[in-house]
Amino acid sequence: MKIFPTLNIQQGRVIPTFGDPAPSALTPMEILDRLLEGGCSHLALVDVDAAQNKGNNRELLAQLLRHVQARATRPCVQVAGGIRSSDQCSFLLDQGANWLVVGTLLQKSSLVVEQLLGRFQSHLTAGIDARGGQVHCSGWSEGTGQGTGITAKEMALRAKAYGFKRLHFVDLAAQAGAQPDFETARIIQEASRLPLLMGGTLTNRAHLEAARATKILHGGLVDALLFVGDSELLGLLQPACA
């Protein structure tokens, strides 16, 4: 299982996935450098503002991606948050992103999804934000989004029917410290038979060890700030690109 330290970026700063919403005192570039120096070979960037339709961090993401590209050994980078157009996809891929997560569009615009897949299929991942097996409209919306009446399994099958080859399950916890919902992850993976990444509630070493023990996850996304605060976690990173 590959591990992706994840920078959640809001108004140019990195914020934690759970708990105190105050941004880190470190800049995104400083956090990125610490991860790279620690041997990070996988990375995820989330534009929280774009996901919430409250602006974007496009130029900052570009700077971070170019910084990664300048290295002799380049981590595999996934970008998420408000990706809704061909122009956005082209821009991020040109800057060096490997994977782009498409989430809200799966529920709102089948036409745009089909257009994006027609051009960028090999780079796209379908995002499924769910709590208790039920899909929510957005993991970064107020209150972690509204229920849609669609199950995570149904959304996984929809994504596979569209032509996605990779899924990202965001486990929306009801509260900080909740145990990861590996059962929903299992249902998604067994229904779709596609490589599955999981994030949201993987917040400590025990969670990562439990995630590996399930033997169903292709990758796990973990708040990058946890790695900054616990250098021992860097020892869990693996070198191959997903």
What class does CATH assign to 2-236?
Answer: alpha beta
Please provide the average confidence, as pLDDT, over all residues in the chain. Answer: 89
pTM: 0.92
pLDDT of residue 173: 80
The residue type found at 76 is C
Q: Mean pLDDT, consecutive 10-residue segments, the chain of 242 residues?
A: 95 88 93 90 95 94 96 91 94 97 82 94 96 79 60 95 96 81 97 96 90 95 88 66 54
pLDDT tens, residue by residue, 126-142: 999 999 999 987 655 44
> Quick one: pLDDT at residue 131?
92
Q: What is the pLDDT of residue 241?
A: 56
Residue type, 111: L
Residue 103: predicted pLDDT? 85
Q: State phi, psi for 49 to the nearest 5 degrees.
A: -65, -45
Domain ranges of the chain: 2-236
Q: Where are the beta strands (DSSP E) in the chain?
A: 2-10, 13-15, 42-47, 76-80, 99-102, 124-131, 134-136, 147-151, 167-171, 196-199, 219-223
Q: What is the pLDDT of residue 137?
A: 73
Q: Is 2 left (phi over 0), alpha (psi -120 to 50) or beta?
A: beta
Helix (H, G, I), strand (E, B) or coil at 198: strand
pLDDT at 163: 95
